[in-house]
Structure 1
Amino acid sequence: MNRLLKRHIAFMFFVVLCSLDYAYSSNLFTAQTRQDSLQTDTSNIEKRNYENLNDTYSGEDFIYERSVENSGWWARFKQWLSDFLKDLFDINTNARASDITDIALNIFYVVLFLLVVFFIVKAIMNKEGNWVFGRSSDKNIIPVIDIENNIYQTNFKALIETAESENNYRLAIRYYYLWLLKTLSEAEIIDYDVEKTNSDYYLEITKEDTRKEFSYTSYLYNYVWYGEFDVDQQQFNKAKIAFTHFLKSVKS
């Protein structure tokens, strides 16, 4: 995923967090303002005596304890989380703990949503998300790592034709390079090993002309493949000429 998309996702996440924090802060400020604006009653209070209050208010209508046994699992979870946060942060009231729980859950929803979007976009950009649009993934080209381990059994000409037909010129250059290594190895000019680098192969080549051509084609390959530059047809044709000329000179 490119850096610009990552920055957009990070910015979205930051904006959501700021919005939630602002909403919660506004609620606390409003509640504090209301509390500060209360007037004190200084009038005389007449003392009254009540008897047998337990008997008078013992009915079911006067039971105010919380009960979540008969609630759904989600309500029980929210209640557990609210109690947990209340104890963890030493929150004074159940109402405030409930508000913080709601904010925490909202943040979790936003993070979960952003993660889902991130992985979907990443899959699409890696050309692994064709199934999202109902297309078959069986048309994907063989992974390059598998080809590297089996270059002697690979038909590079067919793979290059397929990549060219799909205008995937970077991948076609990759196949040309592996085809070149295969040809050099079969001609016993190099000893192919998947762990070796271009410098390793360059040092194994004894003929100066072959070294120069290998150095140039390796430069083209590194520039196109590892540089991750977009290659148009005109640029590809120039690189194609260099690779095909080198392949013919090795085979002759």
Structure 2
Amino acid sequence: MALWLEHLPGDPATAWPLERHIEHLHRLGRAQGALPPADEPWLTRRFLRRYVDSNTLDPELLDDDEAWRHPLVRDHFPTGLRRDMVRLHQDREWFLHVMENLPRVFSHLDMWPANVRSSDGTDSVALDWAFAGDGALGEDLGNYLPDSVFDLFLPAARLPEYAAAAYDAYLHGLRQSGWRGDERLVRLGMCASAVKYDWITARMLARAGHEQLDYGGERTVAAELRYRERGLTLAFLAEWAAEARALAPRVGFPEAPSGR
């Protein structure tokens, strides 16, 4: 299968400039605004919960002082990240409740650059629909943006600019397709999807002394680069989580256990 995918026509999104990702996410919004929610019995349901529950690896490291003192972590994770990631982990069930009760759309649920190609920049082809099914409005967007950075396809320093432009493009696509819902629900779906990455901090703490490989495991990545980029991305996700906690009560959800 891997060899076959390599011979598909078009450029993989792993090599796109930022602007092409934004164009793709506009097309994603336009498609999701036009499609009916998933209703076939064989489509995926509650995917996010199953994903999060299957990735609870070494969560005790979040409270391990020695793990946070490792030079890669100490020198490259932003100040305050430990507090924010512990809070995200503690609020995990609340985030899942929010995501499961937002408006539903037919979703890819593994939407990230390695699964997208385009031959001319005016269209996109999404690959690997194994998890496709019922998802929250904004969930695919909330997956695509951080995954563009976690595997070093785009620099983390551009993530705030990228996310702002991509959100506007996605929302514009929804509106173009006729969607007339509350924009705050789109924003909440994107921001609350930060819970999908609850496991990454503990994994990074556990692997600080290991060789760092690129996506696919073919080349070594500088450990300092990986920890800096992922640390910045996790800090950005903490901001999303904070925004979700503030926004959710305004649209009818209970307050998060840790407050706003």
**Band the TM-score falls in, shorter-chain normalisation:** under 0.3
- Scaled by the length of structure 1, the TM-score of the pair is 0.25
- Scaled by the length of structure 2, the TM-score of the pair is 0.24
Greater length-normalized contact order (CA 8 Å, ≥ 6 residues apart) = 2
User: Normalized per residue, which structure has more strand?
Assistant: 2
User: Normalized per residue, which structure has more helix?
Assistant: 1
